[in-house]
Amino acid sequence: MTEVLTFGEAMAALRAEQPLMLGGSLRLSVAGAEANVAIGLARLGHAVRWVGLTGDDEFGRLVRRTLRAEGVDVSRAVTTEEGPTGLVVFEPRVADLVRVAYFRTGSAGSRLAPVHLDAALTEGARILHLTGVTPALGPGPARAVHSAVRDAGRQGMTVCLDVNYRGKLWSREEAARVLRPLVPHVDVLVASDDELSVVAPAEAATEAARIEALLSRGVGEVVVKRGSVGADVFTAARTITRDAVAVPVRDTVGAGDAFVAGYLSGVLDGGPVELRLDRAVTAGAFAVATVGDWEGLPGHHELDLLRAEPGSTLR
């Protein structure tokens, strides 16, 4: 049985070695929040399915081939001639600051609709994972998100929503209008501290008030990512805090997706909240210590690697 079902847009990704205006090499890979989570979960030993649309082009073939190679089920993914596979470009600008440029308007992934999810939802999963990126792509993807959340609830799936606000895709006001109605159907809500206001009621003016409001609306666990500081999990009964794992930072892109993969892995393994949070911050540390969205994510057997002394050679 599929343990986690996720859906959204996976894109070809180009990574520059220096500012784009200077020219130079671009490394080709794939990216996409939900695809990153799917790969992270598959590496941790879980059965995960990704659903989405890719173009009938070489970028689309790269996306599907990469996901299959990483052990992700793409049997319900769709290839379409109605739009190209999306593209994202990562440009290092200064220190560890990275600029992101999207080329996804009219893409295959932006044509996602509820019908594309019907078969996968019927076949079921333990967890439905979705992000706030998908409904930002257009009316069809937004309808797909709302429909999937309702269907998942009727089937008894655990629903995980990572807010994952992207200011280049839509405004905070648009995001709030679309995402707030989802909250009563969400079991696990993941957000950075500055994203809580997007999903909490507008009248909630402080972080504490926002968390209380989300819990009162039925969310079982509010997971707050705090970057290099660590993370907290808030439930109706208690608060659990974990510091971030200290590692040399090479690339922060994809760290949030790694965090979610680690957290959901802990859920699937039946661990307490403490284990889930430990695994989440560990997976996030692997992500920031390596270049790429998902390339450095750990296998289950590697979760203890970061406990080794810096500079160790494991023989």
Kindly indicate the confidence band of residue 106, based on its pLDDT and cuts at 50, 70 and 90.
Answer: very high
H helices present in 98-138, as ranges: 118-123
Average pLDDT, rounded, for the chain: 95
**Nearest to residue 197, comparing CAs of 217, 214, 218?**
214
For residues 171 and 44, the answer to whether their CB atoms sit within 8 Å is no
Question: Annotated catalytic residue: which of 187, 232, 251, 257?
Answer: 257
Backbone angles phi, psi at 175, to 5 degrees: -60, -45
The pLDDT value recorded for residue 315 is 72
Q: What is the pLDDT of residues 24-37, one digit of tens each?
A: 899 999 999 999 99
The pLDDT value recorded for residue 310 is 75
The pLDDT value recorded for residue 312 is 78
- Rounded-to-integer distance, Cα 229 and Cα 170, Å: 27
The 8-class DSSP code of residue 196 comes to: H
The pLDDT value recorded for residue 256 is 96
* Cα 90 → chain centroid: 17
Backbone angles phi, psi at 251, to 5 degrees: -165, 115
- Rounded-to-integer distance, Cα 73 and Cα 77, Å: 9
Four-way CATH pick for 4-8+33-80+112-295: 3.20.20.70, 3.40.1190.20, 3.10.180.10, 3.40.50.300: 3.40.1190.20
Q: What Cα–Cα distance (Å) separates residue 162 from each residue in 83, 183, 199, 264?
A: 26, 11, 10, 11
Higher pLDDT, 263 or 252: 263
Q: Is the pLDDT of residue 94 over 90?
A: no
The pLDDT value recorded for residue 200 is 98
Angle 266-298-31 (CA atoms, 0-180°, nearest 5)?
Answer: 100
Residue 232 falls in the annotated catalytic set: no
- Can you list the pairs that 282-285 forms with residues at least 24 positions away whose Cβ atoms lie under 8 Å? 282/245, 282/306, 283/40, 283/44, 283/258, 283/259, 284/225, 284/244, 284/245, 284/255, 284/256, 284/258, 284/259, 285/244, 285/245, 285/246, 285/247
Q: What is the pLDDT of residues 159-211, one digit of tens each?
A: 999 999 999 999 999 999 999 999 999 999 999 999 999 999 999 999 999 99
For residues 264 and 160, the answer to whether their CB atoms sit within 8 Å is yes
pTM: 0.95
**Nearest to residue 298, comparing CAs of 28, 32, 42?**
42
H helices present in 10-133, as ranges: 33-43, 58-69, 118-123
Q: If you average pLDDT over residues 213-228, what whole number do you get?
A: 97
| 176 sits in which H/E element | helix 172-179
Q: If you average pLDDT over residues 244-255, what whole number do you get?
A: 91
Q: Is the pLDDT of residue 95 over 80?
A: no
